[in-house]
Amino acid sequence: MKITIAILLLFFASDLFAQDTAVYVSDAGNFSTPPWQILKYDGNGENPEVFINQNLGWPQDIIFLDDANTVLISNLSSNQITRYNAETGAYIDVFAPVPGGPTRMKIGNDNLLYVLQWNGNGRVLRYQLDGTYVGEFTSVGVSQSIGLDWDSTGNLYVSSYNSDLVRKFSSSGSDLGIFISSNLVGPTNVTFDDNGDLLVSDYDGGRVKRFDSNGNYLSDFISGVGKVEGIARFANGNILVGTGSGHSVRMYDSEGTFISNFISNGSGGLNTPNAIVIRNDNSGDTFKINAGLNDAWFNPQTNGQGFFITVFPDLGFMSAAWFTYDTELPADDAPSNLGDAGHRWLTAVGPVTDNQAVLNISISSGGLFDTTTETTEVTDGTLTLTFNDCSSGTVMYDIPSIDRQGSVPIQRVAGDNVALCEVLKDEP
């Protein structure tokens, strides 16, 4: 009886875990030639669906930016990091160009995005999470770099596929020399385990190898995984590993013991897995836009600009006013009796669905200060506002007249209405 109950509880817990989890796999297809895709599976590795198949070019890695409700894909052959909606997979824009061909990406403790390059000078690049380029983090390049991770003290480790090595850098980017120079044949992913050992996926060797904190080879952690690339860890310690030769993703326990083919051969059209991301699927707990968001919002990086947002919950609509500037500074002699000649304001209105509102931009002209005049309004593009909580959101804009698209992370100017928002978001 006790055994039966234990088994039932195990299956019940497993089912709950599967419902709350989604697994995303980057499929490199035929490498430099398509088809390419990002596939989504449930927490059991089943029910595959194509999440993204647009604007890809030999996709490499997957990074979710939950606060912005976006997901980034690094594309080796198109030299771009592209940005998509995190829930629907819809294409948004180019997050950043990377001339050297981006491969692996990770967010560091400084909340910057670290990006590896396959070509070019091989140096590690850094970006803000809105796509702003920060600069080169390392002064020494790693050719065909395709794996990175940090140890517990903040040192960075980067693998080189063609040089069969792992290089070490300090927390400030200083070169600390070659960390591993033997027992590797085409290393890809590198990741530290809870013991402080470095696990290195050896693509051409068909193994995941374990090295100690001094770079000494210890053992083959996992074997029999041809063209191994892509690795992720569940909260319970189980590990997912992609195997290109098997067109599948395998699951192992924390000791490297095989459990199952988590994603079977070719499931969902999977051909060449090269990145795996395990993500909590919050689709059933989506934040709901409510009147507690009515406030002044801005991006601290562009202080002096901002948004006034008003939600009309009974109507199911939102309106927004965007106070900003022209795309270029006006001439010094540009006429302006009140304020700056470069001041611009846009208004927008549109329907609300769950945590997102899509607003049509309206541009007014022909008016005079505090004077009754006939004005003209022209619709010019859209604003898409997405909120994941009561304190932060993202404004995606598309303005055809100036051929400008992009995103603005926003936060409140003051926090007075946060408490009201927290109350209203839980109301039916």
Please, are residues 121 and 144 in contact by the beta-carbon 8 Å criterion? no
Q: Residue 13 pLDDT more than 80?
A: no
**Alpha carbon separation from 344 to 201, 306, 312, 335, 420 (Å, rounded):** 52, 11, 25, 14, 31
The β-bridge relationship of strands 49-52 and 59-65 is unpaired
Q: What does the pLDDT look like over 234-262, one tens digit per residue?
A: 988 899 999 999 999 999 999 999 999 99
* pLDDT of 63 above 80: yes
Which CATH number applies to 14-281?
2.120.10.30
Q: Under DSSP, is residue 423 helix (H, G, I), strand (E, B) or coil?
A: helix
**Domain spans in the chain, listed from the N-terminal domain onward:** 14-281, 286-424
Q: What is the mean pLDDT of residues 391-415?
A: 87
- pLDDT tens for 261-276 read 999 999 999 999 999 9
Distance CA 189, CA 158 (A): 9
- Listed as own residue / partner, the contacts of 322-330 with beta carbons closer than 8 Å and 24 or more positions apart are 322/346, 322/347, 322/348, 322/383, 322/395, 327/402, 327/404
pLDDT of residue 138: 97
Would the pLDDT of 23 be above 60? yes
Residue 10: band (very low, low, confident or very high) from pLDDT cuts 50, 70, 90: very low
Residue pLDDT, tens place only, 204-232? 999 999 999 999 999 999 999 999 999 99
What's the mean per-residue pLDDT of the chain?
Answer: 89
pLDDT at 1: 40
Q: What is the pLDDT of residues 142-171, one digit of tens each?
A: 999 999 999 999 999 999 999 999 999 999
DSSP category for residue 266: T
Please report the pLDDT score of residue 421 as a whole number. 92
Helix, strand, coil proportions of the chain in percent (round to 5)? 10, 50, 40
Q: In what order do the strands lie in the sheet with 258-263?
A: 228-233, 239-243, 248-252, 258-263
**106, 127 Cβ separation under 8 angstroms:** no
Please state the rounded mean pLDDT for residues 127-143: 96
DSSP β-bridge partners for residue 365: 376
**Structure-block tokens of residue 398:** 């598309």
Percentage of residues in the chain having pLDDT higher than 70: 92
Q: Which of 100-114, 166-180, 345-359 has the lowest mean pLDDT?
A: 345-359
Cβ-based burial of 268 (10 A; exposed 0-12, middle 13-18, buried ≥19): buried
Asked whether residue 417 carries a pLDDT value surpassing 70, the answer given is yes
Question: Which pLDDT band holds residue 8 (cuts at 50, 70, 90)?
Answer: very low
Q: Give me the mean pLDDT over the 68-88 stretch.
A: 95
- What's residue 285's pLDDT? 58
Closest CA to 64 of 83, 38, 36, 37: 83
Task: Identify whether the C-beta of residue 40 lies closer than 8 Å to the C-beta of residue 51.
Answer: yes
